Amino acid sequence: MAIDQIHDIQQVYRKILHSMSRPGTISVLEEAKQLDYELPCKKSTMLCAMTVLDAEVTFHILPGNQQKLIEKISEYTSARYAPIEEADFVIILKNASKEDVLQAMRQCKIGSLIDPQLSSTWIIESEGLAEEGNLSLSGPGIESHASLHAGMPESFWKARSSRIKEYPMGIDLIFVDDDSGIVCIPRTTRVIMTEVE
């Protein structure tokens, strides 16, 4: 069954907004099950890309050499592929190396004090998301704190902290997993590791 390009995408967009306003809360993208594409990424990754990318933005994918996926995303969204330093969206596939991800974190756009919106949003594939884990989240949209497992190492969260310390500059994160789960961590969310993964 093919995805409805208008109705289903609107539903996904609402779920992304819901997750962004409630950091650490996992939503399920039921619409991902309708995708019939054979691609080297999770169906929820492709669905998020189809929802947030358009002809006005650029994207980058890690690891490199993903020509088939680049072509498919460009075909469906009209977005252009760009170097990490210029990309509005950064897509991290599950087989990306830790070193490449940390390098991308150092190089990606975080906006400026005048134009904080000129920053990058990351879509990250996780092995499994859970609302119980070693991450403690606090900030806007969270009553006191939220617990989360996102599958990223401590080095990732340290690197992310260094890129969001000059608010409103920073990056926003969207995690997806094999069960079509989605969770968002905007730049306004403070993340503390309670133990090392």
Specify the CATH number for the domain of residue 42: 3.40.50.11310
In this prediction, residue 175 carries a pLDDT of 98
Residue 87 to residues 62, 100, 165, 195, Cα–Cα distance (Å): 12, 15, 21, 32
pLDDT number for residue 197: 46
Task: Identify which has the larger pLDDT, 99 or 195.
Answer: 99
What average pLDDT does the segment 107-112 reach? 98
Euclidean distance between CA atoms 197 and 166, whole angstroms: 27
The domain of 14 spans: 7-193
Residue 106 lies inside a defined structural domain of this protein: yes
Kindly state whether residue 1 falls inside one of the protein's structural domains.
no
Cross-strand bridge partners of residue 61: 91
Per-residue confidence at 1, pLDDT binned at 50, 70, 90? very low
Give the total number of structural domains in the chain: 1
For range 180-193, the mean pLDDT: 96
What is the tens place of the pLDDT at every residue in 45-69? 999 999 999 999 999 999 998 999 9
Give the percent of the chain with pLDDT over 90: 84
pLDDT higher than 70, residue 170: yes
Residue 181 burial (CB < 10 Å; 0-12/13-18/19+)? buried
Instruction: Tell whether the model's pLDDT for residue 3 goes beyond 80.
Output: no
Check pLDDT > 50 for residue 196: no
Answer yes or no: is 45 within a domain.
yes
> Mean pLDDT for the chain?
92
In a domain, 13, yes or no: yes
In a domain, 2, yes or no: no
C-alpha 22/C-alpha 111 separation (Å) is 23
pLDDT digits (tens, 9 = 90+) for 127-164: 899 999 999 999 999 999 999 999 999 999 999 999 99
- Report the predicted TM-score, pTM, of the whole model to 2 decimal places: 0.94
Q: Given pLDDT bands bounded at 50, 70 and 90, which one contains residue 8?
A: confident
Tens of pLDDT, residues 25-49: 999 998 766 776 678 899 999 999 9
Q: How far apart are CA 88 and CA 92, in angstroms?
A: 13
